[in-house]
Amino acid sequence: MKKERIVSIAIVMLILLLFLTYSPPSTSSQIGFAFFALSLGALIVELWILAPSMATIEKRVPLFRKPFFRFFSRKLAFLFVAIFFSFTLLFILPYLMPTNPVDMMIARVSAGQQDVSRLLAMRNEYIVLFGLDKPLIEQYGLFWKRVLTLDFGPSIAYNRSVGSLVGQALVWTLALIIPVLILEFTVGTSLGARVAFSKNRFLRAIYTFSVYLSSAPYYWFGLILAYIFAVNLRWFPIYGGYSLFVKPSFSLSFFLDVAYHWVLPFLSLFIAGLGGWCSGMRAMTIYERQSDYIYYSQQMGFTRNKLRKYAQRNAILPMITGVPAMFGSLIGQTMLVEYVFGWPGLGTLLFGSVQAIDYPLMQGIFVFTVLVVLVGNFLIDILYGFIDPRIRTGYVGG
Point out which residues bind another protein (CB under 8 A): 4, 43, 46-47, 51-52, 78, 81-82, 85-86, 89-90, 93-94, 97-99, 101, 104, 211-217, 219-221, 223-224, 226-227, 231-232, 238, 279, 286, 324-325, 327-329, 331-333, 335-336, 339-340, 350-351, 354-355, 357, 362, 365-366, 369-370, 373-374, 377
Closest separation between CB of residue 354 and another protein, Å? 5
Going by the DSSP 8-state scheme, the letter that residue 143 receives in this structure is: H
What is the rounded CA–CA span in Å between residue 63 and residue 60? 9
Report the C-alpha gap between 7 and 48 in whole angstroms: 10
In the complex, the smallest distance separating the C-beta of residue 129 from another protein, rounded to whole angstroms, is 18
Residue 246 or 325: the one with the smaller Cβ distance to another protein is 325
Question: Do 316 and 326 form a contact (C-beta atoms < 8 A)?
Answer: no
How far is residue 297's CA from residue 306's CA, in Å, rounded to a whole number? 9
User: Is the CB of 129 or the CB of 325 nearer to another protein?
Assistant: 325
Please give the backbone phi and psi of residue 235, each rounded to the nearest 5 degrees, phi first: -80, -35
Length of the chain: 398
Q: Cβ 33 to another protein, closest distance in Å?
A: 22
CB atoms within 10 A of CB 211: 17
DSSP string, 214-261: TTS-HHHHHHHHIIIIIIIS--S--S-SS-TTPPP-SSHHHHHHHHHH
Residue 116, number of CB atoms within 10 A of its CB: 9
As a whole number of angstroms, the distance between CA 202 and CA 195 comes to: 10
Neighbours of 364 (CB within 10 A): 29
Which of 24/315 has CB closer to another protein? Answer: 315
For residue 23, is it left (φ>0), alpha (ψ between -120 and 50) or beta?
left
User: Between 46 and 388, whose beta carbon lies closer to another protein?
Assistant: 46
CA distance 22 to 16: 10
Instruction: Collapse the DSSP code of 154 into the 3-class scheme (helix H, G, I; strand E, B; otherwise coil) and give the result.
Output: strand
- Give the 3-state secondary structure of residue 33: helix
Nearer to another protein, 99 or 249 (CB): 99
CB of 366 to another protein, least distance (A): 6
Shortest distance, CB of residue 137 to another protein, whole angstroms?
22
Q: Return the number of the residue (43 or 316) whose C-beta is nearest another protein.
A: 43
Nearer to another protein, 342 or 394 (CB): 342
Min dist. Cβ of residue 262 to another protein (A): 19
Instruction: Work out how close the CB of 105 gets to another protein at its nearest, in angstroms, rounded to a whole number.
Output: 11
Closest CA to 178 of 186, 166, 189: 186
Kindly state the smallest distance separating residue 328's Cβ from another protein, in Å: 5
Smallest gap from residue 304 Cβ to another protein (A):
16
User: Of 196 and 258, which CB lies nearer to another protein in the complex structure?
Assistant: 196
Least Å from the CB of residue 377 to another protein: 5
Q: Residue 27 gets which letter from DSSP?
A: H
Number of Cβ within a 10 Å radius of residue 386: 10
- DSSP secondary-structure letter at 97? S
Nearer to another protein, 4 or 151 (CB): 4
By beta-carbon proximity to another protein, the closer residue of 28 and 100 is 100
Q: Among residues 173, 161, 195, 212, which one has the least CA distance to residue 338? A: 173
